[in-house]
Amino acid sequence: MSVEATTRAGHFAGVGVGPGDPELITRKAARLIENADVIAYHAARGKASNARRIAADLFPAGAIEEELTYPVTTGTTAHPGGYAGALADFYEESARRLADHLDAGRDVVLLSEGDPLFYGSYMYMHDRLALDYDTEVVPGVPAFLAATAAVASPLVRQTDVLTVLPGTLPEPELARRLADTDGAIIMKLGRTFPAVRRALAAAGRLEHALYVERASMPEARWLPVADVDERSVPYFSLIVVTGDSLNGRRSRDEQASVAGSSTCADARELLVVGLGPGPDGWLTPR
């Protein structure tokens, strides 16, 4: 990037579009999308971009679209630098494409599923462009918050510790961390699912672990991790382990302290009555 690039008129924004439901896009994100000259988004080869699907109704007429197609996702590559080398080259080329628009004075919005800086590809563009261009980051609703809303169970309370874990961690390390936290979110499933389930069992957390698929999307569904068919776990899935599940549930004394509250009692009744087994054993809202 040249020093002259810092004087250009183009504005770069990494915009979180949430986990899937277009109604979860923030007003600020919507405003930036609606006024963008260029809208960029990532996509897997041969697949439509989920980020684009979420925000498409906000695209202004005449906006330039830049699809940034990954050269590899979970497969193999012939790149001499392997998987890491292929992605590094891809991010460099993608940054050059967006920089060309910025240098021409165009405002560029890069869509990010969930939140741009939470396991998002946006951050690799941020690393390459933020020092040279006027850059803004708009937070979005992360998928794990949509997932906890779907299961309608508090994730962490009071002094509980929440740990977010990638399922790609070595199985013994994953089990150790699960045993040492209150609430947990496990992401990056797919082929890692069998090892993740074994780690949950080893940590004594399997009984209360909930698998959530496509949270906030029309086809969203969830069920206990123990009941999941490990042969069909999509990318848009994660596991929720609530803090209340540690050692069974909150202590009897804690439960008694809120038993007199009509609000809490109503909430407990809503959770019990409002959710039940759906088709194929899935738990779905009624």
Beta-bridged to residue 184, according to DSSP, are: 163, 241
CA gap 272, 264 in Å, rounded: 12
Last residue of a domain, one of 124, 141, 158: 141
Structure confidence by residue, pLDDT tens digits, 243-271: 988 755 444 344 434 333 333 333 333 33
214 vs 247, residue with greater confidence: 214
Cβ neighbour number for residue 144 with a 10 Å cutoff: 25
The chain-wide mean pLDDT, for the chain, equals 84
Same domain, 160 and 41: no
Give the strand order in the sheet containing 108-112: 64-69, 38-43, 108-112, 12-16, 135-138
CATH of the domain at 214: 3.30.950.10
Same domain, 166 and 123: no
pLDDT for 82: 65
- For tokens 């109503």, the residue is 266
Same domain, 45 and 154: no
Q: How far, CA to CA in Å, does 12 sit from each of 58, 79, 105, 126, 141? A: 18, 30, 10, 9, 20
Query: Please, are residues 110 and 122 in contact by the beta-carbon 8 Å criterion?
Result: yes
pTM above 0.85, yes or no: no
Average pLDDT over residues 62-86: 76
Confidence tier at 5 by pLDDT (50, 70, 90): very low
Q: Give the domain extent around 182.
A: 144-285
Structure confidence by residue, pLDDT tens digits, 8-61: 569 999 999 999 999 999 999 999 999 999 999 999 888 899 999 999 999 999
Average pLDDT over residues 108-131: 96
Number of domains within the chain: 2
Same domain, 164 and 271: yes
Average pLDDT over residues 216-220: 90
pLDDT for 175: 98
187-204: b (≥16 Cβ within 10 Å) or e? bbbbebbebbbebbbbbe
Same domain, 105 and 176: no
